[in-house]
């Protein structure tokens, strides 16, 4: 909890840096730069080519989280609770306890607002830190669209954010939320907002690591590619294949 209090204390002082990780090797790199590392259920599409995050299982999340944990020394580690693992407070508590025990993570993330209010309260009461998630909800939304463009959506998202804060979450991911609404929500809360496609006005930002490094060939409006690792991988594999075919690899320096 001390790590969480330290991160919350950064509100209005410095931006929070967050990225997703699904393995030890990646996590060990991100740990040098991030405040929060999220083992996101986005791994379903990133690693397994699932059509949606709904196909991700609890066991899959746990196994990847165990790997990520080995690469983290200082960052806060949060794990997504997958679809259909927190349909009621009792189920959520059972599964959240399992995640915390197996992965040694610092907290879990749940999608939704009013519908999960009692569930969040139950987890917090049992000393399980919770990160919320509002706006676009991949586990339940059937179409991809920005949220907060009409008055009903705006009011609902603002209400849900305030409810989640009341329930005890330490932060809320705002995904694909209209700029002025993201700013309003951030200013109305004492806890942190972490944006993804939700403007610079959030307290911090999160991206899927594979998007940031250009490993994912798909372009999203809200993603900036800071590298094109696909090109570097292609060069490396091309050089490797050429040397194997020409019998240049392995040589005496690569043999025991």
pLDDT tens string for the chain (256 positions)? Answer: 689 999 999 999 999 999 999 999 999 999 999 999 999 999 999 999 999 999 999 999 999 999 999 999 999 999 999 999 999 999 999 999 999 999 999 999 999 999 999 999 999 999 999 999 999 999 999 887 889 989 999 999 999 999 999 999 999 999 999 999 999 999 999 999 999 999 999 999 999 999 999 998 888 888 999 999 999 999 999 999 999 999 999 998 888 8
122, two tokens: 């139950």
Q: Which of 177, 185, 192, 208 is nearest to 107 (CA)?
A: 192
Q: Which residues are catalytic?
A: 175
Q: Is the peptide bond before 59 cis (omega within 30 degrees of 0)?
A: no
Cα–Cα distances (Å) from 123 to 15, 48, 60, 164, 246, in that order, read 27, 29, 21, 12, 60
**Average pLDDT over the chain, rounded to an integer:** 96
């Amino acid at each position: 909890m001390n790590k969480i209090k330290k991160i919350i204390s950064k509100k209005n002082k410095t931006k929070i840096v967050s990225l997703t990780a699904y393995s030890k090797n990646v996590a060990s790199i991100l740990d040098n730069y991030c405040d929060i590392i999220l083992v996101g259920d986005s791994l379903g599409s990133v690693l397994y080519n699932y059509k949606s995050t709904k196909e991700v299982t609890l066991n899959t999340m746990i196994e990847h989280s165990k790997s990520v944990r080995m690469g983290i020394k200082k960052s806060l580690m949060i794990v997504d609770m997958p679809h259909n693992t927190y349909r009621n407070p009792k189920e959520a508590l059972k599964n959240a306890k399992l995640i915390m025990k197996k992965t040694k993570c610092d907290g879990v993330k749940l999608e939704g607002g009013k519908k999960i209010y009692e569930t969040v309260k139950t987890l917090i009461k049992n000393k399980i830190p919770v990160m919320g998630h509002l706006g676009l909800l991949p586990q339940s939304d059937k179409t991809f669209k920005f949220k907060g463009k009409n008055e009903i959506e705006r009011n609902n998202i603002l209400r849900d954010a305030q409810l989640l804060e009341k329930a005890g979450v330490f932060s809320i991911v705002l995904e694909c939320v209209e700029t002025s609404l993201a700013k309003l929500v951030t200013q109305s809360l004492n806890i942190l907002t972490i944006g993804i496609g939700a403007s610079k006005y959030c307290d911090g930002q999160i991206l899927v690591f594979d998007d940031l490094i250009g490993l994912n060939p798909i372009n999203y409006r809200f993603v900036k590619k800071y590298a094109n690792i696909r090109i570097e991988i292609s060069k490396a594999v091309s050089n490797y294949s050429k040397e194997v075919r020409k019998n240049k690899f392995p040589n005496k320096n690569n043999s025991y």
